[in-house]
Amino acid sequence: MENKTVLITGATSGIGRATAILFAVKGFRLVLCGRRQDRLEALQLELGKKTQVHILNFDVREKEAVKNAIAGLPKEFSKIDVLINNAGNAHGLDPIQEGIEEDWDAMMDINVKGLLYVSKAIIPQMTERTSGHIINIGSTAGKEVYPKGNVYCASKHAVDALTTGMRIDLNPFGIKVGAVNPGAVETEFSNVRFKGDDAKADAVYMGFDPLVAEDIAETLLFVVTRPSHVNIADLVITPTAQASATVFNKDD
Ligand code: NDP
Ligand code: 8X3
């Protein structure tokens, strides 16, 4: 693992953070990205005891910032073997007729266009080397649409389509592309969706055992450590209590 460099977007929280922690223990060299500088620095301090860690602060919506950050990586971190496109969130849970344009912009700009900008900044070095691995974090919301999920579900359906498109286009270069699509994972996701309303966020995970970020980190470790001839193209992982986007076996 020592020779593999993994770049994780959205490493300051939830799935990305748990993945950074697990991958550091496993000895991967890490490039950790996010906007909250204090959290990035704390991670670098902590995980730097286990592996080499470089931190990058940029907003995935800002294409020039993305390009410059990746282009400016120091030599020892500049060869990215594995890209984990994880940064993203839902913003709001409203019926389409009451949707807020700023929320729509945020979800499409971050979850879809941000993923594209980061990928575009890294794919050329992978095609040149004819090797690399891209893992997009999709969602069960990219497989099914649920009430009031409209634009978030659309953004994750776009991730689903882009994963397939990237896999097809990058196939001649021997680059692996796949998606991990989680169901309900208890992270800051719902706090962001409900704009800091903790009671609403907590209610999402009540009455059943949700996934935790570490479950997805372990899944990503499995995906990344398959032999070179094996690509995990598309993986859906849910809590046992979740049968579909809307069907949950909850305590009364
Ligand atoms: P969190 O809110 O805990 O983490 C989101 C991460 O994305 C943070 O590190 C945040 O960092 C980063 N991020 C958000 N916006 C931007 C931006 N504009 N630029 C750069 N980084 C950004 O949520 P999760 O860990 O749950 O979410 C991670 C991914 O998993 C998302 O793509 C989400 O859609 C997906 N997912 C989540 C599920 C869940 O139930 N939790 C289920 C299925 C998929 P910072 O704020 O520091 O920039
Ligand atoms: C996150 C899972 O069901 O809240 O993508 O959309 S859900």
- What was the ipTM of the complex prediction? 0.99
| Distance in Å, CA 141 to ligand 2 centroid | 6
Q: Residue 1's pLDDT is what?
A: 57
- Residue 20 beta carbon below 6 angstroms from any ligand 2 atom: no
Cα–Cα distance, 20 to 56 (Å, whole number): 14
Do the Cβ atoms of 205 and 199 come closer than 8 Å? no
* pLDDT per residue as tens digits for the range 38-81: 999 999 999 999 999 999 999 999 999 999 999 999 999 999 99
Cα–Cα distance, 124 to 207 (Å, whole number): 46
Ligand 1 pocket, Cβ-based, cut-off 6 angstroms:
9-16, 34-36, 59-61, 86-89, 110, 137, 139, 182, 184-185, 187-189, 192
- Residue 141 beta carbon below 6 angstroms from any ligand 2 atom: yes
| Residue 248 within any structural domain of the chain | no
Is beta strand 5-8 parallel, antiparallel or unpaired with respect to 82-85?
Answer: parallel
* pLDDT per residue as tens digits for the range 82-120: 999 999 999 999 999 999 999 999 999 999 999 999 999
Q: Residue 145's pLDDT is what?
A: 98
Flag whether pLDDT at 34 surpasses 80.
Answer: yes
Would you place residue 242 in the very low, low, confident or very high pLDDT band (cuts 50, 70, 90)?
very high
| Distance in Å, CA 172 to ligand 1 centroid | 31
* Residues 6 or more apart in contact with residue 242 via CB below 8 angstroms: 140, 183, 184, 208, 248, 249
Q: Which of 115, 139, 204 to mutate to test the pocket of ligand 2 (most atoms within 8 A of CB)?
A: 139
Question: From the candidates 117, 146, 152, 205, which is the catalytic residue?
Answer: 152
| Residue 97 within any structural domain of the chain | yes
Q: Which ligand has its closest atom nearest to the C-alpha of 89?
A: 1
In the chain, which residue ranges form alpha helices assigned H by DSSP?
A: 14-25, 37-47, 63-71, 75-78, 101-107, 115-129, 150-170, 189-193, 198-204, 213-224
Cα–Cα distance, 185 to 165 (Å, whole number): 26
Residue 146 annotated among the catalytic residues of the structure: no
CA angle centred on 11, ends 35 and 31, rounded to 5°: 95
Place of tokens 């001649």: 172
Would you place residue 2 in the very low, low, confident or very high pLDDT band (cuts 50, 70, 90)?
low
Cα–Cα distance, 33 to 8 (Å, whole number): 6
Cα–Cα distance, 139 to 238 (Å, whole number): 10
| Distance in Å, CA 159 to ligand 2 centroid | 13
Q: Which ligand has its closest atom nearest to the C-alpha of 10?
A: 1
* pLDDT per residue as tens digits for the range 178-233: 999 999 999 999 999 999 999 999 999 999 999 999 999 999 999 999 999 999 99
| Residue 106 within any structural domain of the chain | yes
**For the chain, what is the domain count?**
1
| Residue 204 within any structural domain of the chain | yes
Place of tokens 């286990």: 50
* pLDDT per residue as tens digits for the range 118-166: 999 999 999 999 999 999 999 999 999 999 999 999 999 999 999 999 9
Q: What is the domain extent for residue 14?
A: 5-237
Q: Residue 30's pLDDT is what?
A: 98
Atom of ligand 2 minimally distant from the CA of 190: 4
Total count of residues recorded for the chain? 252
Q: Which of 9, 12, 153, 163 to mutate to test the pocket of ligand 1 (most atoms within 8 A of CB)?
A: 12
Which helix (H) or strand (E) covers residue 234, if one does? strand 234-237
Q: Residue 252's pLDDT is what?
A: 80
Nearest CA to ligand 2 atom 5: 139
| Residue 250 within any structural domain of the chain | no
CATH number of the domain bearing residue 45: 3.40.50.720
Do the Cβ atoms of 186 and 211 come closer than 8 Å? yes
Cα–Cα distance, 211 to 186 (Å, whole number): 6
Flag whether pLDDT at 3 surpasses 90.
Answer: no
* pLDDT per residue as tens digits for the range 52-64: 999 999 999 999 9
- 3 or 108: whose pLDDT is higher? 108
pTM: 0.99
What would the two tokens of residue 65 be?
Answer: 């910032």
| Distance in Å, CA 231 to ligand 2 centroid | 25
| Residue 164 within any structural domain of the chain | yes
| Residue 123 within any structural domain of the chain | yes
| Residue 25 within any structural domain of the chain | yes
What would the two tokens of residue 213 be?
Answer: 């970020």
| Distance in Å, CA 133 to ligand 1 centroid | 20
Q: Which of 89, 152, 160, 186 to mutate to test the pocket of ligand 2 (most atoms within 8 A of CB)?
A: 152
